[in-house]
Structure 1
C-alpha cells in the first residue's frame, strides 16, 4: 500500500534573514533551493521514494510502505538540521488509496497539525568567554576569518558555521538561483550570457541606480493568489509539473521586468539591475531599482499572469480561474534594514491579497493587485496608516491598485484604479513646477479625516474651495488644465454626484469611503515612471517659477 509523506521546513524566513549581509541572504536562499533539489537523487532514491514536490522548503514524497516513509522523514529532518542548521516538520504519512487529491489534502492537514504541536526548543550552546557571530549576532562563532565580497575589509571577523555556509553558497558555482535567473535575463534582453557577469552584492549597488542620486532602493514582495486552491485541484502528475514550473515562472517574470528596465536606463550597464533574496515556489522577495519601481512591478505581474496561465493550460487545469498575483513594493533608503522593509512589504501584500480576494468573492472577477509605500529617510514604516474608523469615511489613498492589460471593468473601477493610470498622470504632470507640486502635496496631506459620514461631502467641498483652489490659482492656464485632468482621472469630475469636489466614493468591503489617488502619485513621484519612456522624457520644462 503506497503512502504519501508531507514535510516542510520551519521558519524559513528566520533562517534566510538571520544574516545581516545581503550576500549571505542570497546564499541562504540558494542553499535552501539546492538542498530541496538534491533530495530526489539522494535521500529519496535511498529509501525508494517518488518525489512529487521538492521546492521552497516543502516536500511531498510517495513510498511503497509505511516503514520506508517514516525512515525517510526522520533522515530528512536530520539532514536538514546538519546542512542548514534549522528544523523541519515531518507529518505522519497518509495512506494513498488512489485518490491523490484527497490524500494530499489529508497530508496537508497532518502537516499543519504537526507544526502546531511541535514540542521542545532548539537552543544555541552557550559558554562563557566565547564570541558571537559578527553577521547574525545570534549564533556562537566557529571561526575568525576575513569576510568575502567587494566591500569586505582586511579585518577578520568572528563568524558562525551557518553564516559561513551561506557566504560560501553565494560564491559557489553553479549557483542554484542566480545562474538560472541570469540566463532568463539574457534571454529577455536578447543577448548571450557572458562570463564576466556582475551581480549586485548589497543595497548600495542597487542604490547607484537611483537617477536622482539620493540612494533609494525598492524591495519587491510577490505571492500568487489562490495557490492553495490551485494545488488542491491537481492530480499527482499535475502537482509535480506545477511545483517544477513555479520557480521558473518567477525567474522569467522578474528577468523580463529587469530587462525592460535595462533597456531604458543605461547607468551601471555592466550590473544586473536586481537581486533575488527569496525566490521559490510562488514567493518572491527581491531588491530592485527605485526608479520605475511601480512599472517594474506592474510588468512583473503581467508577465507572471501570462506564464502562469500558459503553465495551467499545459498541465490541464482547465477549470482554474484567471491566475493572479499580489505584489507590494517598499521604497526606502539603501541603508534601511532589509528585514524591516520585508516586514512592511508583507503587511502591504496582505492588503493587496485581501482586495483581490474581495473582488473575486463579490464579483467573480480576478485581478492582480499592487500595493506600495515610500519610506522617507529612516522613519519607521507604517507610522501613517489610516485610522481604522476614519478610513471608512475618508481615505487619503487609493492603494492597492489593480494590474490589468486592458480596460478595467466597472466593478473593478468601483473598488480602485489600474496602476497604469497613476503612471500616465506622472508623465502628464511632469512640467508642473516642483514648488507647486510641494504645495499640492501639503494640501492633500492636510485633508480633514476626523469627520462624520454625514458631514464629509460639505467638508470636502470646503477644503476644495479654500485650499485646493488656492493652489490651482497659482498655476498657468496650461498647467492648471493638466492638473484638473489628473484630479478628475485619479478621483472624479468636480461636479459629478451633485458635489463640488474631486473625491470619489470607492468600495472597501462593507464601507464606501471617499478616496483620491493624487497623494499616492505625489509620494511616489520619483518612482512612478513608465518604462515605455526614457528618463530624459521626464525632464520637466517648467513654465513658471
Structure 2
C-alpha cells in the first residue's frame, strides 16, 4: 500500500460548473427565479441531504454546521478530536465547498471509501435536482499536517478535474425531436400548466423549485415586466452584477501569515474569512432592499429581484430608474464591512471590502443571458480600471507600511443588440470617433461610505466619481428634486405622439415637464450631437443655450481633452430616479 493511501483523511473540494448559464439560459423570469432558488445555498442543501442518506439515523457521524456568528467561538476541527465523526464540512464559500472525510470504508453494503460513496451520491443529487449542472470534484489524502500544502495540491487537482470534464450534457432526445423554445432543450413528458406546454427536464426542475419558493414568498413577481415602469416598448430594467475586489489575493495573504498555525487553527481562520465574506455582501444586499422598501409608495410594488447571492458574487435585476442609486448604496455600505480572520481582530482598513459593479440596461424582452454577460463585461472593465496604478488608493498602516488598495467602481451599458457582449470591441467601434474623441468617461469611482476626511471629501468631487456623474444628471433633469415616474411616463407619451408636429411636440414636452431645467428632447439632441463629432456638438450648444439659458453644457465643459464630459449623463438621464436611500 502506498504512503498516500496510508493517510488518515481525505480532503475534497467541490465546484459546480455553469451556474450563471444555467440561471440565465431563458428570458422567462419564472424559470430564472426557479433556477435562482434551486442554486441558492446549493452546497449546504446538497451536502446535508446526502449526509442523511449515507448515514441514516446517525447524525453523530457527520458535521455540516461549519459557521457561526462572529461574536461566538469558532468551532474547532471536530473530526480530528472525535473518532466517531466520519465527515466534517470545513467551509463553504467562493463558489465551492471543502469537506474532510475519515479515510475508511463506508460499510459492508457498499465496500467503498466514505469519500467515494459520498461523491457518487452528491453527483447523482446534482443531476437529479438540476438535470444539467455539473459537479467538479478534487480530492487529496492528508494527515492534517499543513493546510497550505493540502490547499495547493487540491487546487492543482481541481484544475485537472475541470480540464477533463466532458462538455456534453445529458442525453436529451433522438435525432428528430421537439425542442423547447426558451432553452433549446428537448421536450420531456413534464407539463407546465401555466404556459400549457410541455417543457424540458431542466425547465421542469426550475419550475418545481419556483413552486416550492412561492409557498414561502407568494408576492414575488413572475415576469420581468413586473419590475419595469412602463410595460411594452419602453419597459427597461437593469441587470446588475457585483463582484468583490481581490478577495482571492487577500485570502492567500492571510494563509501566508498563518504558516505557523496548526491544521485546526488554519481551518478556523478560513471559516472566519468565508463567513465574513458571505455575511458582509449578503447583509449589505438585504440592507439595500430594506432601505428601498422604506421609500416605496406602494408596498406591493416589485422593484428588485435577487438572482445570485453567493459570497462576494451578487447579481440582481431591478427597475432601470433606480439601478444607479441602488448600486451606489451597495458599494458604499459594503466598504464599511471587513474580512475577519479571528474573533479578537479589529477592523483593519487593509481588509475592508470593496467591489466593482456592472449594469446592463435592457428592454425586458432582451435576451436575459446576453444582458447578464454584458453586465459581467462591464464589471470586468470596472475592475480593470480600478486596478490601474493611478486609480489605486494609498493606505499607510499602523506600522508605517504603505499599501495600494483597490476602490469600488461602476460601469454600465445600454443594450441595443446582442453584439454588445464583445464590449471592448463594441465600444471602440461605437464610442470612439474618427478624431479620437472618446464619448465615454465611465467607469466611475464610488468613494467609501465613511469618506469623511477632507481628502476623501475632495476626492468625491473628482470628475471620475459617481457623485460628479449624478450632479451632471441632476443638472440635466429636474430642479429641486427628482421627476416622478408619472412625470416620465407623460413625457414618453408626448414624445411618441406621431400626430404632433415637431414644434407642438416640444411645447407639450415643456408643459408636461415644467420642473425640468432642460426638456428631455434636448438631452436626446445632445447625445446625437456628441456622436456626430465636436463641430456638431459646439453648433448644438450654441442653439441650445440660445433657447434654454439654463442648459448646463457649454463650450468650456463639453469636453476635457479628447473625452466627452456629459455623454454618460445624457444617456442616463432618461433612466435615473433620484432616490434617497
TM-score interval (norm. to shorter): 0.7 to 0.9
Q: Shift of residue 334 of structure 1?
A: 1.3
2:185 maps to 1:138: yes
Residue 120 of structure 2 is matched in structure 1 by 74
String of CA shifts for 1:99-146, please: whole Å, max 9, x gaps: 323422331232122212335744424226653345422133122341
String of CA shifts for 1:491-539, please: whole Å, max 9, x gaps: xxx4xxxxxx75335xxxxxxxx32330000001122333229xxxxxx
Residue 101 of structure 1 is matched in structure 2 by 148
Q: Distance in 1 between matches of 2:207 and 2:92?
A: 23
Residue 260 of structure 1 is matched in structure 2 by 291
SS at structure 1 position matched to 2:529: helix
2:335 maps to 1:305: yes
String of CA shifts for 1:437-461, please: whole Å, max 9, x gaps: 233222222226xxxxxxxxxxxxx
TM-score (norm 2): 0.70
Answer with 1 or 2: which has the greater Rg: 2
Residue 251 of structure 2 is matched in structure 1 by 231
Q: Shift of residue 299 of structure 1?
A: 0.6
Residue 62 of structure 1 is matched in structure 2 by 100
String of CA shifts for 1:224-261, please: whole Å, max 9, x gaps: 11121233325312322333444444433233333433
Q: Distance in 2 between matches of 1:32 and 1:355?
A: 31
Q: Shift of residue 350 of structure 1?
A: 0.9
CA contact 2:356–2:383 (8 Å) conserved in 1:
yes
Q: Shift of residue 298 of structure 1?
A: 0.7
- The 3 A distance-change label for structure 1 pair 390 and 28 is closer
Which of 429, 438, 443 pairs up with 1:400? 443
CA contact 1:43–1:76 (8 Å) conserved in 2:
yes
Residue 373 of structure 2 is matched in structure 1 by 343
Residue 200 of structure 1 is matched in structure 2 by 221
Q: Shift of residue 355 of structure 1?
A: 1.3
Residue 470 of structure 1 is matched in structure 2 by 542
**Structure 1, unpaired ranges of 5+:** 180-195, 449-461, 488-493, 495-500, 506-513, 534-545
Residue 385 of structure 1 is matched in structure 2 by 427
CA contact 2:277–2:339 (8 Å) conserved in 1:
no
Residue 3 of structure 1 is matched in structure 2 by 10
SS at structure 2 position matched to 1:331: strand
Which of 141, 147, 157 pairs up with 1:110? 157
Q: Distance in 1 between matches of 2:156 and 2:430?
A: 34
CA contact 1:321–1:366 (8 Å) conserved in 2:
no
Which of 206, 212, 215 pairs up with 1:166? 206
2:394 maps to 1:373: no
SS at structure 2 position matched to 1:332: strand
Residue 471 of structure 2 is matched in structure 1 by 424
- Mapping 1:349-368, distance limit 5 Å: 349-359=379-389, 364-368=404-408
Q: Distance in 1 between matches of 2:380 and 2:289?
A: 24
Q: How many residues align?
A: 465
SS at structure 1 position matched to 2:335: helix
2:530 maps to 1:444: yes
Q: Distance in 2 between matches of 1:354 and 1:32?
A: 29
Q: Shift of residue 292 of structure 1?
A: 2.3
- The 3 A distance-change label for structure 1 pair 411 and 362 is farther
Q: Shift of residue 80 of structure 1?
A: 1.7
Q: Distance in 1 between matches of 2:243 and 2:167?
A: 31
Q: Distance in 1 between matches of 2:160 and 2:175?
A: 38
SS at structure 2 position matched to 1:41: helix
- The 3 A distance-change label for structure 1 pair 298 and 362 is closer
Q: Distance in 2 between matches of 1:279 and 1:37?
A: 14
Which of 307, 311, 315 pairs up with 1:281? 311
Q: Distance in 1 between matches of 2:213 and 2:558?
A: 57
Q: Shift of residue 201 of structure 1?
A: 1.4
String of CA shifts for 1:453-508, please: whole Å, max 9, x gaps: xxxxxxxxx677x536524542444x14x445xx8xxxxxx4xxxxxx75335xxx
CA contact 2:225–2:231 (8 Å) conserved in 1:
no
Which of 183, 193, 197 pairs up with 1:157? 197
Q: Shift of residue 312 of structure 1?
A: 6.3
Q: Shift of residue 59 of structure 1?
A: 1.5
- The 3 A distance-change label for structure 1 pair 41 and 100 is same
- The 3 A distance-change label for structure 1 pair 55 and 167 is farther
SS at structure 1 position matched to 2:357: strand
Q: Shift of residue 325 of structure 1?
A: 0.6
2:274 maps to 1:243: yes
2:237 maps to 1:217: yes
SS at structure 2 position matched to 1:292: helix
Which of 10, 21, 25 pairs up with 2:28? 21
Q: Distance in 1 between matches of 2:214 and 2:281?
A: 19
- Mapping 1:514-525, distance limit 5 Å: 514-525=562-573
CA contact 1:402–1:416 (8 Å) conserved in 2:
no
Q: Distance in 1 between matches of 2:270 and 2:525?
A: 55
Residue 5 of structure 2 is matched in structure 1 by none
**Structure 2, unpaired ranges of 5+:** 1-7, 56-61, 63-85, 105-112, 256-265, 395-403, 478-516
Q: Shift of residue 88 of structure 1?
A: 0.9
Q: Distance in 1 between matches of 2:277 and 2:41?
A: 16
TM-score (norm 1): 0.75
SS at structure 1 position matched to 2:546: coil
